[in-house]
Amino acid sequence: MKRSSSHRLLAHGRTFLAGCVVLLLLVAGVWSSWDSAHHIVLAKGREHGTMTVTACGEDACTGSFSPDADSVKRSVVTIERSVAAEKGDRFPVVVKPGSGYVVRTGTPGFLHAWVPLGGALVLAALVIGGGMRLTRTAWGAGVAGAALLTATFVAL
């Protein structure tokens, strides 16, 4: 039996709407990740050093900053709280320009910065599979997001 034009229009409309939701999820994931990631990806010319965590609160951890060659020593810097930061930990960081906030660098920092994108990929996979009926693409997006989240968990 042939489908009517209204059924085809409805199917195309559903696919278009699901595609818009996927696009929104992925753009939001990249946007959220880029806030921290650009300090790591574009780190040339920024202050680099090592942070030693001295105290952690609800939202942030503070500590001392030991600079690399061209950076300025700071007595107190702040980093966003994560499950991987405990009192006494030392890790490489880069200072956000014009502030006392730092972002973790290296592979763990890079992966941690992209966690929102990993979550967005997993959510987008559900919409791609259910709304757009593209199962292979959905599996690819879901596996990529899960791999990013798992790699971050292992690295931290």
pLDDT exceeds 90 at position 83: no
**pLDDT recorded at residue 4:** 83
The predicted-structure confidence for 84-136, as pLDDT tens digits, reads as follows: 778 888 999 999 988 889 999 989 999 999 999 999 999 999 999 999 999 99
**Cβ(104)–Cβ(145) under 8 Å?**
no
All structural domains of the chain with their residue ranges: 19-40+114-155, 45-104
Cα–Cα dist 14/134, whole Å: 13
Asked if the model's pLDDT at residue 71 lies above 70, the reply is: yes
Cα distances from 20 to residues 12, 99, 116, 138, in angstroms, run 12, 37, 19, 15
Higher-confidence residue of 19 and 44: namely: 19
pLDDT given at position 135: 95
Burial class of residue 138 (count of CB atoms within 10 Å of its CB; 0-12, 13-18, 19+): buried
Output the pLDDT for position 138. 97
Confidence check: pLDDT of 58 > 80: yes
Asked whether residue 1 carries a pLDDT value surpassing 70, the answer given is no
> Beta strand pairing status for 102-104 and 90-95?
antiparallel
Does the pLDDT at position 45 exceed 90?
Answer: no
> Helix (H, G, I), strand (E, B), or coil: what is residue 14?
helix
The closest of 45, 26, 29 to 37, measured between CA atoms, is: 29
